[in-house]
Amino acid sequence: MSSESAVLVTGASTGIGAVYAERFAHRGHDLVLVARNHERLTALAERLRDETGVQVDILQADLTQDSDIAAVEQRLREDARIRILVNNAGTSIPGDFLHQSSDDITRLITLNVTSVARLAEAGEGAIVNIASVVGLGPEMGLTVYGATKAFVLFLSQGLDVELSAKGVYVQAVLPAATRTEIWQHSGKDVDTIPGVMEVDKLVDAALVGFDRRESVTIPPLHDETQWQTLNATRQAMLPGFAQSEPAARYLSRS
């Protein structure tokens, strides 16, 4: 058993989550890997045990299912070694809003929103939530997916406000297009998209933000002042909301 805290990574069977698992194993952390695909989790766990000697447990779970979310919550609450949660499992669905089925939308929201919030509530130490730049861009045309990721960003920022005094570190990571299998699920050909980041680069950059204890990490954003300006403008509005009267433009003339 490692002397480092253990890390629970959701969506660890492939993509961004698998690279997080690999990086934390090489930093000497024991792991709990969560996803649906048992075969892939087993192969990754065996490789990481061989390469690093850390302890790797597998928790097979479908995070669209209430009972499976509860099982992961229970593991987070009862396993005191787990001090870092990487809330990464997420997906996308094809099509535009009017052509998406209500079943697909419900499953997407359960995975990308409900499971993320419930697991964050059970987390302690450090909570890394994988959001997306799509959550900043309603113009990008991925409306429900983007809305789930806007939720993850807000949740992270709110938890940072609520939990930092208790010593809990919360990080939102906002990747842009990154080369993983998610593109197969979204029905888009990733090779037609400009500026796709390789997954190793994305996770290594996100971990630089983690080590700096950033609350929001946007690896593809080269001009950091753009985010700072947006955030400062948003915060500047807040005191002005305390008004008993509507703004002049909403006063009826009659």
Q: Give the residue numbers annotated as catalytic, written as ranges.
A: 145
| Site string (91-120) toward ligand NAP, x via CB under 6 A | x-------------------x---------
Question: What's the closest the beta carbon of residue 111 comes to ligand NAP, in angstroms?
Answer: 5
Residue 193 Cβ vs ligand NAP, minimum distance, rounded to whole Å: 9
Shortest approach of ligand NAP to residue 208 CB, angstroms? 17
Q: Which of 215, 212, 220, 199 is nearest to 17 (CA)?
A: 199
Is 33 within 8 Å of 12 (Cβ atoms)?
Answer: yes
Q: How far is the CB of 230 from ligand NAP (least distance, A)?
A: 18
Nearer to ligand NAP, 111 or 155 (CB): 111
Residue partners of 27: CB distance under 8 A and separation at least 6: 4
Can you tell me which of 7, 8, 15, 82 binds ligand NAP, judged by CB under 6 A?
A: 15
Enter the DSSP assignment of 100: S
According to CB under 6 A, which residues from 21 to 50 bind ligand NAP?
A: 35-37, 40
89 binds ligand NAP (CB under 6 A): yes
Q: Tell me: does residue 130 bind ligand NAP (CB under 6 A).
A: yes
Cβ 136 vs Cβ 130: under 8 Å: no
x/- map, 175-214, ligand NAP, by CB under 6 A: x-xx-xxx--x-----------------------------
Q: Are 93 and 186 in contact (CB under 8 A)?
A: yes
Tokens of 161: 């406000």
Closest to ligand NAP by CB, 52 vs 132, is 132
199, 179 contact by CB (below 8 A): yes
Q: Are 135 and 152 in contact (CB under 8 A)?
A: yes
Burial of 167 (0-12, 13-18, 19+ CB in 10 A): exposed
Binder of ligand NAP out of 8, 90, 119, 216 (CB under 6 A):
90
Window of 47-55, 59-67, 218-226, 234-242 that interacts with ligand NAP by CB under 6 A = 59-67
CA distance 171 to 126: 8
Q: What is the biggest distance separating any 2 CA atoms in the chain, rounded to whole angstroms? A: 77
Residues touching ligand NAP, count (CB under 6 A):
29
Q: Mind giving me the DSSP string for 108-148? A: HHIIIIIHHHHHHHH--SEEEEE--GGGG-GGGS-HHHHHH
Residue 144 makes contact with ligand NAP by CB under 6 A: no
In the complex, minimum distance from the CB of residue 236 to ligand NAP, in angstroms, rounded to a whole number: 28
Residue numbers at the binding site for ligand NAP (CB under 6 A): 11-17, 35-37, 40, 61-64, 88-91, 111, 130, 132, 175, 177-178, 180-182, 185
